[in-house]
Structure 1
Amino acid sequence: MSEFNKTLDRLDWMDISMQLDVEGYAVLPDLLGVEMAGSLAQQVTTSGIRRVTLESSDLGRGELLYFDTGLPAPLDTWRTTLYRRLVVIANRWNETLGVDYRYPDELDDFLRHNRESGQTRGQSHLNRLGVEDHVSLHQRNDSELLFPMQIVALVSEPGSDFKGGEFVMTEQRPRMQSRPMVVPLKLGDVAIITTAERPFKGTKGYYRVNLKHAISRVRMGERIGLELSFHDAN
C-alpha cells in the first residue's frame, strides 16, 4: 500500500462526508506537504503546459496552466485514489437527488464514459496569480457527465509568498440570499469542494444547493494553486 493510501486511511472519512453534506467542502490539512507543494509550484516554469489567461474567458485576471501532456507524478495516482474515496459520496448524492446515473468504482472507467460522451479536454490545472489578479466566481459544470466534487490545493505560502488571494465559495439555496464562505488554506493543504450542486436536507426534505468558487484579489506577491477535476470537458 502506498504512503498516500496510508495517509488517506488515517483520515476520518465519516467526518469528511458530513462536512461535505453540511458545508459543501472539507479541508484536509497538509495532505500535500511542503515538499510536494514546492515541487508542484515549480511546474509553472516547465514545458508541456498550456497557458491560458483568465481574461480570455472572462474569468478574472491571471494565468491558468493546463496539464495537456498528462498529470505529473504523483498527481495522477493521487487523483485516482481520491476518486475511490469520493465516488461513494457522489453516488449517495445522486441517489438522494433522484439521479439515475451511478459513477463507476474506478476513475478510468468514468473517464471512458467521458470520452464516449465527447468529453476529452482535461480540466486539471495550476493557477498563477500576481498582484491585482483574481479568479471570478465560476463552476466547472459545462459537461454532460459531471463529477460533483473536485480538489483544490495551495502550493505557495500565504503571508510569505503572497497576501490576499483567499479561496472563496458561495452557496445559493432556493429563495435565500447567497451565503459566502472563505475556505482557510495553508501551504500544502487540500480541500474537497462541491463542483456545482449538492443535496441539502431542509425542513421539508432534500433540495439542491448551488455552489461556485473564486479566489480573491492578490494584494502582494504571487499565489500558485492547484485544481484537480475528476471529469473532462467537451
Structure 2
Amino acid sequence: MVETLRARVAGLDWADIAAQLDAEGCAVLSGLLDAAQVRALAALCERPGPWPGWVAALQASLHARLLPVANAWNARLARPLRHPAALVRGEGPRPQCLQAGEDLPLQHGSDGPLAFPLQLNILLGTPGEDFTGGALVLTEQRPRMQSRPMVLPLRCGDIALFAVAERPHAGTRGDYTVRLRHGIARVRSGRRLGLELRLDEAG
C-alpha cells in the first residue's frame, strides 16, 4: 500500500501543481486515496487511535514534493530559513468532525514564521449525501486590496493543498507578501468528516 501511494504521488503533475500554488495559493489533489483508505480514515476520525503507517508515508511523500516550493517561497520573501528534508515528528493528523450548525472559523493555520507554509485537508464524506454546506473557504489579503475569498470544490477523498499564513505573489514590481486564512463554512445538514495533515510534522 505504501509503495502504491508513493507511486500515485510521483505520478502527479508537480510542475502544474507548483504553478497553481504560485498563482492561487491552492490546488486540489484527486485520486491519491482509494475508497478503502477513505473509509479507514473516516472510521479513525470517529474513533481516534493509532494511525496506519501509510498516512505518515503519504505525508512524507507530499512533503518531499512540496519542499522545493516552500524553500523557494522563503527565498522570495527574503527569509533565510530552509525547511529540513525530513518531517519533524509532531502530534500527527487532526480529525475534523463538524455537525449541522457547526463551522471552523477562519484561521492562519501556522505556528509562526518557521512553520511549513503549506498544509492538507482531506474530505472524507460525500457532499450532498453525507452533508450539505461545509465548503472549504480560503481568503487572501493582498496589500491595498480587499480580501479575496475562494471556495475549493471537493469530492470525497480529494486532498486540498493550500498555503497558510503567508506566501509570495509576483507583482509588477517584484514579489510581495500575501496573507492567508482558511476555514470551513457552516454545515447545514448531516455531518462533515475531514482530516487535517500538517507537513511539518508526522504522526
Q: Deviations over 1:168-198 (max 9, x none)?
A: 0000001100000001110000111102111
> What pairs with 1:1-234 in structure 2 (closer than 5 Å)?
2-48=3-49, 71-107=51-87, 111=88, 122=91, 124-143=93-112, 145-231=114-200
Alpha-carbon distance, 1:123 to partner: 5.9
Alpha-carbon distance, 1:5 to partner: 1.6
Further displaced range: 1-10 or 20-29: 1-10
Compute the TM-score of the two structures, normalised by the length of structure 1. 0.81
Tell me how far apart the structure 1 counterparts of residues 40 and 48 of structure 2 sit (CA, whole Å). Answer: 15
Q: Secondary structure at the match of 1:103?
A: coil
Task: Write out the 4+ residue segments of structure 1 that deviate beyond 4 Å after TM superposition.
Answer: none
Alpha-carbon RMSD across the aligned residues, in angstroms, is 1.7
Q: Secondary structure at the match of 2:53?
A: coil
Alpha-carbon distance, 1:33 to partner: 2.6
Q: Secondary structure at the match of 1:191?
A: strand
Contact kept, 8 Å, 1:33 with 1:189, in 2: the verdict is: no
Q: Secondary structure at the match of 1:222?
A: strand
Contact kept, 8 Å, 2:81 with 2:114, in 1: the verdict is: no
Number of residue equivalences:
200
What is the letter of the counterpart of residue 24 of structure 2? E
Tell me how far apart the structure 2 counterparts of residues 47 and 21 of structure 1 sit (CA, whole Å). Answer: 35
What is the letter of the counterpart of residue 199 of structure 2? F
Structure 2 gap ranges (5+): none
Structure 1 gap ranges (5+): 49-68, 113-120
Tell me how far apart the structure 2 counterparts of residues 166 and 6 of structure 1 sit (CA, whole Å). Answer: 29
Identity rate, percent: 43
Further displaced range: 136-145 or 176-185: 136-145
What is the letter of the counterpart of residue 195 of structure 2? L
Tell me how far apart the structure 2 counterparts of residues 140 and 193 of structure 1 sit (CA, whole Å). Answer: 10
